[in-house]
C-alpha cells in the first residue's frame, strides 16, 4: 500500500481557531455560572458544536431546557463568526501551503476533514478553497469525530481506500476517528499527550513528505 491521500483537519492544523472558540465558549460558561479553563478547552478540540455544549453542561452541573441549549448554541456561533470574519490568509500556519503544493505535485490527493460546520467559511477567509480536491465538514455526515464518518466520506470523495489515506490531526477526537476509519495518522502540534498517531509533527516546518510516505512501506 502507498500513500495516495492526505486528509487534513482544519482547526489547529491549518490555522489556529481554538483561541476564537475559547473566547466564545468562555462566554457560554459564564452564562452557566462557571469558569472554563484552558485545559477544559483542550478537550473541546475536534468535538462537534452540540457535543461541546453537552460537555460544558456536564462540567458546570447546570440543567437547561432544549430551547435554552439551542439559544446558547446560536449565540456562541454568532460570537465565533465575528472572530472568523476578521481572518485573512496571514493566519494560515507557516509552511502549510508549501507542503500541500509539494504533496499535490507528487500526485497525492488532498482533502479537508473537519468537524466544524464553519469549515468552508474559514477556508474561504484563508483563500484556500482551490487548494483541496474535497472538503468535508461537520454538517455533511450523521456523526462527527470521534466517529470515522467525516474521514470516510473524504476518502470516498477522493476515490481512495481508507488504508491509502493519512490523517493529520491536532485532537484526540480526530486521532480516534482516524483509527476507527482504518487510516494512519500524524498528530500535529506540541501536545505530547495525544495517543494513537504513527508520528508527531510539531509544525509544518518539520513535515517531511518522504518520511510520511515511508509510514506506508510495510503495509
> Which cell is 146 given?
470521534
Report the interhelical angle of 18-31 vs 49-60 (nearest 10°): 40
> Which cell is 94 given?
507557516
Smallest distance, ligand G6P to C-beta of residue 210, A: 29
- Residue 172 in contact with ligand G6P, rule: CB under 6 A: no
- Residue 138 in contact with ligand G6P, rule: CB under 6 A: yes
- Residue 44 in contact with ligand G6P, rule: CB under 6 A: yes
- Residue 46 in contact with ligand G6P, rule: CB under 6 A: yes
Q: In this structure, are residues 163 and 178 in contact, taking their beta carbons and an 8 Å threshold? A: no
Separation between Cα atoms, residue 159 and residue 109, nearest integer Å: 9
User: Choosing among ligand G6P, Mg ion, none, which partner's interface includes residue 113 (Cβ < 5 to 8 Å by kind)?
Assistant: none
- Residue 115 in contact with ligand G6P, rule: CB under 6 A: yes
Which 11-30 residues touch ligand G6P, going by CB under 6 A? 11-12, 21
Smallest distance, ligand G6P to C-beta of residue 123, A: 12
- Residue 181 in contact with ligand G6P, rule: CB under 6 A: no
Separation between Cα atoms, residue 97 and residue 50, nearest integer Å: 31
- Residue 52 in contact with ligand G6P, rule: CB under 6 A: yes
**Residues designated as active site:** 9, 11
Separation between Cα atoms, residue 68 and residue 38, nearest integer Å: 25
* Interface with ligand G6P: number of residues (CB under 6 A): 18
Alpha helices in the chain (DSSP H): 18-31, 38-42, 49-60, 66-84, 96-105, 119-125, 149-158, 172-181, 209-214
Residues in touch with ligand G6P (CB under 6 A): 11-12, 21, 44-49, 52, 77, 114-118, 138, 171
Amino acid at each position: 500500500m502507498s500513500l495516495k491521500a492526505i486528509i487534513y483537519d482544519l482547526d489547529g492544523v491549518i490555522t489556529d481557531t481554538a483561541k476564537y472558540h475559547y473566547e466564545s465558549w468562555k462566554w457560554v460558561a459564564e452564562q452557566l455560572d462557571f469558569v472554563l479553563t484552558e485545559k477544559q478547552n483542550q478537550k473541546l478540540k475536534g468535538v462537534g458544536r452540540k457535543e461541546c455544549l453537552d460537555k460544558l453542561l456536564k462540567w458546570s452541573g447546570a440543567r437547561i431546557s432544549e430551547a435554552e441549549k439551542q439559544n446558547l448554541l446560536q449565540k456562541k456561533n454568532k460570537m465565533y463568526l465575528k472572530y472568523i470574519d476578521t481572518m485573512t490568509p496571514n493566519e494560515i500556519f507557516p509552511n502549510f501551503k508549501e507542503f500541500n503544493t509539494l504533496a499535490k505535485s507528487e500526485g497525492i490527493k488532498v482533502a479537508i476533514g473537519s468537524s466544524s460546520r464553519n469549515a468552508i467559511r474559514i477556508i474561504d477567509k484563508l483563500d484556500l478553497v482551490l487548494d483541496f480536491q474535497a472538503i468535508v465538514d461537520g454538517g455533511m455526515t450523521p456523526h462527527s469525530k470521534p466517529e470515522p464518518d467525516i474521514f470516510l466520506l473524504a476518502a470516498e470523495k477522493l476515490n481512495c481506500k481508507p488504508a491509502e489515506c493519512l490523517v493529520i490531526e491536532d485532537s484526540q477526537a480526530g486521532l480516534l476517528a482516524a483509527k476507527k476509519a482504518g487510516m494512519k495518522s500524524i498528530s500535529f502540534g506540541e501536545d505530547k499527550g495525544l495517543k494513537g498517531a504513527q508520528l508527531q509533527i510539531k509544525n509544518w516546518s518539520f513535515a517531511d513528505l518522504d518520511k510520511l510516505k515511508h509510514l506506508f512501506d510495510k503495509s
